[in-house]
Amino acid sequence: MNAHRPSGGGPNRHPLRPAELAPRGLVYLLGCLVFSLGAHCFIRSDLGTDPLDVFSLGVLRHLPLTIGICQAVVAIVCIAVWSAWNGKRPVVSPFVTFFLCGSLIDLFQWLRPADWLGLRSYPLMLLGALLCAYASALIIMSGFGIRAIDLLAITMRHRWTWPFWCAKGLVEGVLLVCGWLLGGPVGIGTVAFLVFVDLLIEPFVRFNRRFLDIPDHGFAVTLAVS
């Protein structure tokens, strides 16, 4: 945790309004729930996997590991770079999100709520991408449990003044290319995830901040994340 924590939703600080007093934990938990539902829709569309899964499945073709271990290693590397870059202790909250979302995805895979919608293929894939993008915005805005890749991308955004989609796209693009070279599966869904999710996160953050009055504890001050 950092002592320089923002008092409001952005760089122009103002007294907190009633809507801004809503617990950050609720924003975080809602983000995890929606992200897991989006991931479920994406899986059920059967049109490809996200770049991190492409990398993990590619590694599995050469090493006797599991998807969970591969993704945990990627998270550790991202957190280590973030920690060294910002001069902070490594955070463990991204792993809370990792295990919570993984458990919720397993639950949704058992309940199969996507089947209730009657959607298939491309519409289901696009719905999943939209849900994942909006949920990622909520998790980032909560300032807790920000996924390791997003955490690194936020630092790149602040340090290099890049758009978030460009920073996140660079990290995930590297994972995608490496995974493809290792033999990981790449489909239209992979490209859709890389494009739609990365491009929409920051606009969703601005929407939530402006119209829903949700304070931004992630993008506003990158060193303030838990």
Domain locations along the chain: 22-224
SS3 content of the chain, % helix, strand, coil (to 5): 70, 0, 30
pLDDT in tens, 9-35: 433 444 444 444 457 899 999 999 999
As a dihedral over the C-alpha atoms of residue 169, residue 171, residue 155, residue 198, rounded to 10 degrees, the angle is: 30
CA distance 212 to 226: 23
pLDDT in tens, 37-96: 999 998 889 898 899 999 999 999 999 988 889 999 999 999 999 999 999 999 999 999
User: Mean pLDDT throughout 137-149?
Assistant: 94
pLDDT in tens, 100-123: 999 999 999 999 999 898 888 999
In the predicted structure, residue 170 carries a pLDDT above the cut 80: yes
pTM for the model stands at 0.85
